[in-house]
Amino acid sequence: MKGIRADDPGGQGRWSFSSQQATLRRLDKAFTAFFRRIGRGRTPGFPRFKGRGWFDTVEWPKDGDGCRWDSQPAHPTTTFVRLQDVGHGRVHQHRPIKGRVKTISVKREGVRWYVVLSCDEVPADTLPATGAMAGIDMGVASLVTTSDGNHLVNPRHLAKTADRLATAQRDLARKTRGSKRRVKAVARVARLHAKVRRQRLDGTHKATLSLVRAYDVIVHEALHVANMTRRAAPQPDGQSGFLPNRASAKSGLNRSILDAGWGVFLTVLAHKAESAGRELIAVNPANTSRICARCGHSAKENRISQAAFRCTACGHATHADVNAAINVLRAGLALRDAAGAA
Ligand SMILES: [Zn+2]
């Protein structure tokens, strides 16, 4: 990189060295992950080349090194960020900074630009104890069901906006490459995707905050989202064709899972719980949906439909997700007792 910078002082050489290093590190990370997956016998996609039209994030690993947060502190009303060879940029700051700014990233989303800060020494935001504990079951119909019977409704923004997005994408497919109309259509699709992403993240923040406020201890299932959302493998029937593998049914479920955004949900929940001083326990989800929470009888016939549970031994009937959430809570408390006794 030093050579490239020296040969091109007016081009590559203008930018922050540390920032370019950070980009190279990201590239290295992508290839390391790629070869690690190959080593495990998987078939990952080759890391995709990202030209300037697709390259959307630049990171500066240290505030003060090629970048400066709040670069004009004397300004009475506006916050600025200075980036090497870009200059001072006005920032629409929508909440105060907590802690000390460590890294600065600039991210492009459609026509919007975001400044993303990561901070050190962020003061904890502990909440008063409530004395309540809950197990949560994560589903598709309701994003989350708690063991005391609350259903947090899944904000299915993607499903609602899917029609608009599909229309925009069909529209885009008809445009001629290189035309002005195509550029506009690309922007429209990107804008809709970004809207869905923002709404989904907003819903996640609201749902996780309400959980963290209400309970001192939250137990959830440890989910392997990557496994659940993998594409259904085609099954050869031994002759020339393929047996139906329920790929379309599974794709529908995949879509719902991705829509619900469980991975993001758990990440946000973990951050909020840590900051609030709450205890978060992950348990093995095996059998939580088929065990009867009243008598402990385990049978897959207990679950009579997606929503209904009726125990074949004791006749206990309840909502399937509430039953599962109670089992999750119990498993978590057992795990906690075991850890305490050891
Ligand atoms: Zn029972």
Q: Concatenated DSSP letters for 19-31?
A: HHHHHHHHHHHHH
Give me the amino acid identity at 105: S
- Say how many Å lie between the CA of residue 247 and the centre of ligand 1: 34
- Say how many Å lie between the CA of residue 317 and the centre of ligand 1: 8
- Say how many Å lie between the CA of residue 294 and the centre of ligand 1: 5
Q: Which residue has the higher pLDDT, 95 or 333?
A: 333
Q: Is residue 137 annotated as part of the catalytic site, yes or no?
A: yes
- Alpha-carbon span 151 to 210, nearest angstrom: 12
CB 75 within 8 A of CB 83: no
In this predicted structure, what is the pLDDT of residue 240?
55
Quick one: pLDDT band at residue 250, thresholds 50, 70, 90? very low
pLDDT 10s digits, 133-182: 999 998 777 778 999 999 887 666 666 776 787 789 899 999 999 999 99
- Residue tagged active-site, from 63, 137, 216, 259: 137
- Say how many Å lie between the CA of residue 58 and the centre of ligand 1: 56
Q: Is residue 274 annotated as part of the catalytic site, yes or no?
A: no
Give me the amino acid identity at 224: H
- Say how many Å lie between the CA of residue 54 and the centre of ligand 1: 55
* R_g of the chain computed on alpha carbons: 25
Q: Nearest 5°: CA angle at 222, between 267 and 44? A: 75
- Say how many Å lie between the CA of residue 145 and the centre of ligand 1: 20
Q: Concatenated DSSP letters for 74-115?
A: T-SS-EEEEETTTEEEEE---S---SEEEEEEEEEETTEEEE
CB 106 within 8 A of CB 113: yes
Strands 279-283 and 242-243 come out as: unpaired
Q: Is residue 321 annotated as part of the catalytic site, yes or no?
A: yes
* Token pair recorded at residue 146: 């708690």
- Say how many Å lie between the CA of residue 338 and the centre of ligand 1: 25
- Say how many Å lie between the CA of residue 225 and the centre of ligand 1: 30
- Residue tagged active-site, from 59, 63, 216, 221: 221
Quick one: pLDDT band at residue 3, thresholds 50, 70, 90? very high
- Say how many Å lie between the CA of residue 290 and the centre of ligand 1: 10
Average pLDDT, the chain: 86
CB 48 within 8 A of CB 56: no
- Say how many Å lie between the CA of residue 318 and the centre of ligand 1: 11
Average pLDDT rounded to a whole number, residues 234-245 = 55
Q: Which of 76-90, 194-208, 249-263, 321-335 has the lowest mean pLDDT?
A: 249-263
In this predicted structure, what is the pLDDT of residue 28?
95
pLDDT 10s digits, 193-207: 888 777 778 888 888
Chain centre to alpha carbon of residue 97 = 22
CB 146 within 8 A of CB 223: no
